[in-house]
Amino acid sequence: MREIYENSYIQHGSSTMFIARENGGKYLFVSDGEAYDLLQGVRVGDTDGNGGNIAKGCPPQGERVGDTDGNVAKGNAVYGSAIKRCPLTNENSKVIRSLFPFTNPVSHKKHACTIGLGDRLGLASPGHLRVIKDKNIFPVLAQQSIRELTLTGRTYEDVLAAAVWAVFQEGYKSGYGADGDHLKSREEVKMALDCGFTMITLDCSEHIPNGLTAVAEFAIDIYNEFIRGTDIDFELSVDETQTVTSAEDHIFIANALKKANVCVTSLAPRFPGEFQKGIDYRGDTTEFEKELRKHAKIALDNGYKLSVHSGSDKFSVFPIIYRETDCRVHLKTAGTHWLEALRTAAVFNPDLFRRIHIVALEHLKEAKKYYHITENTANIPAIDDLDDGNLPTLLDNDDARQVLHITYEFTLAAFKAEIFDLLNRREDEYYDALAKHLTKHLPRL
Ligand code: ZN
């Protein structure tokens, strides 16, 4: 039984291609033609009326359709040709990128409103695209920091390949970006660029104690070595520090960059208040608004946009952010989509969710080495006191959210196969949860 993602149908020369589920796995199928030999996979049939039926609603055996005009209609099959079933590997994703330009990440310089949609599991992007596709918002689908790569055991190649398969599956042709997030050294920048990433977020926080000149010197060096003369989006971030970025500091950095002829796409200051993971803004919203307004003006005057990190779930300040920047802003989100995966587990596999929750609490202290949060576990109800129907309420509890958000290294290590199995079986429900949550983050354009 094959379930086809109808938006994935595409033609390359005489080869028809699409993504489908078969026996619980997700694959690319390619019919005989130009693309057949380029992709790695196994031949799964041809005209036998069984393996050869590559679509739902196939016409009677022997009738060949969709091959003379290059238009392959939904539900049509390719008959009389060999069919290959190809795993969604990094190698095959590179072939897809070479055949279909729309599957390559691109610069987002020309787009005002952009959103980073980090996807720790590599399963969420189709759900995000189903929301974004109708909106004038550019998605940066592939976005991971070195910290997240390490804790999830992934590579930049894996992250980019997941985005490639997502845009292919959804037939999304409006462009997406790939952000090497929070890179701190030239080696990390080189690694992300070598993998084809189109955005570099240079984390300059460690240089702050040496003064703002040191920050700009580091940024200028990296820019001159890797970015100048390319179309790469260059973001400079100073958000992961205790020092709130004043307007004067921002102007100093902006002037130093301008003098060195460095063109940044975005800059992430450290705003007043707390931007913690997966929960709403904490702090004085009036003060935040006042400071954001200053930063937005500096950014506008210098031809770049503000970037807001840990931007998920900041519902009390989204209206301020979108109004004061006039929607010229980059908003980064990531772990909140992982929490929607856990919400899906809480609803559809309560037993698994209970075990995840327990492991998360057990490893909280270790996880806090990597993330700054101010959870109070006393506010989290004992899971044994909750019946299954109430488990999803933990995903609405700020303290539980923070704990579940930052402990993914441990919960994934313990339950990765079960989590992936659940999200694959409940794919549509997972996408729906992602879509519902993401929609709350977007401006009303
Ligand atoms: Zn950041």
Q: In the annotation, is 181 catalytic?
A: yes
Which tokens belong to 45?
């049939």
User: Tens-digit pLDDT profile for the chain (445 aa)?
Assistant: 889 999 999 999 999 999 999 998 999 999 999 999 999 999 997 644 444 444 443 433 333 333 333 344 444 445 567 999 999 999 999 999 999 999 999 999 999 999 999 999 999 999 999 999 999 999 999 999 999 999 999 999 999 999 999 999 999 999 999 999 999 999 999 999 999 999 999 999 999 999 999 999 999 999 999 999 999 999 999 998 888 999 999 999 999 999 999 999 999 999 999 999 999 999 999 999 999 999 999 999 999 999 999 999 999 999 999 999 999 999 999 999 999 999 999 999 999 999 999 999 999 999 999 888 889 999 999 999 999 999 999 999 999 999 999 999 999 999 999 999 999 999 999 999 999 999 999 997 5
CA separation for the pair 133, 288 (Å, rounded)? 31
Per-residue 3-state assignment (H helix, E strand, C coil) for the chain: CEEECHHHCEEECCEEEEEEEECCEEEEEEECCCCHHHCCCEEEECCCCCCCCCCCCCCCCCCCCCCCCCCCCCCCCCCCCCEEEEECCHHHHHHHHHHCHHHCCCCCCCCCEEEEECCCCCCCHHHHHHHHCCCCCEEEEEEEEHHHHHHHCCCHHHHHHHHHHHHHHHCCCCCCEEEEEEECCHHHHHHHHHCCCCEEEEECHHHHHHCHHHHHHHHHHHHHHHHCCCCCEEEEECCCCCCCCCHHHHHHHHHHHHHCCCCCCEEECCCCCECCCCCCCECCHHHHHHHHHHHHHHHHHCCCEEEECCCCCCCCCHHHHHHHCCCCEEEEECHHHHHHHHHHHHHHCHHHHHHHHHHHHHCHHHHCCCCCCCCCHHHCCCHHHCCHHHHHHHHHCHHHHHHHHHCHHHHHHHHHHHHHHHHHHCHHHHHHHHHHHHHCCCCCC
Task: Give me the CATH code for the 101-335 domain, please.
Answer: 3.20.20.70
Say what the pLDDT of residue 79 is: 53
Beta bridge partners of 332: 116
Q: How many residues does the chain have?
A: 445
Query: Can 432 be counted among the known catalytic residues?
Result: no
Centroid of chain to Cα 267? 19
For ligand 1, the distance from its centroid to the CA atom of residue 207, given in whole angstroms, is 15
Distance in Å, CA 25 to ligand 1 centroid: 35
Catalytic residue of the set 32, 170, 235, 375: 235
Contact in structure between 407 and 363 (CB atoms under 8 Å): yes
> Other C-beta atoms within 10 Å of 360: how many?
22
Confidence (pLDDT) at 51: 43
Q: How far is 152 from 95, CA to CA, in rounded Å?
A: 25
What is the model's pTM? 0.92
pLDDT at residue 310 in the model = 95
> Which residue type occupies 234?
F
Residue whose token pair is 């973001």:
235
| Distance (Å) from CA 279 to ligand 1 centroid | 15
Determine contact, residues 426/434, Cβ cutoff 8 Å.
no
**The pLDDT value given to residue 445:** 58
CA of 172 to the centre of ligand 1 (A): 28
Query: What's the pLDDT at 55?
Result: 45
Q: Are 299 and 247 in contact (CB under 8 A)?
A: no
Angle at 185 between CA 252 and CA 231, to 5 degrees: 70
Write down the catalytic residue from 148, 179, 181, 427.
181
| Main-chain phi, psi angles of 22, to 5 degrees | -150, 130
Centre of ligand 1 from the C-alpha of residue 251, in Å: 20
What's the pLDDT score for residue 45?
77
- Domain(s) of CATH 3.20.20.70: residues in the chain: 101-335
Of 334, 328, 399, 403, the closest CA to residue 367 belongs to 403
Q: How far is the CA of 235 from the centre of ligand 1 (A)?
A: 11
User: Radius of gyration over alpha carbons of the chain, in Å?
Assistant: 23
pLDDT score recorded for residue 302: 97
Write out the two tokens for 411. 């919960």
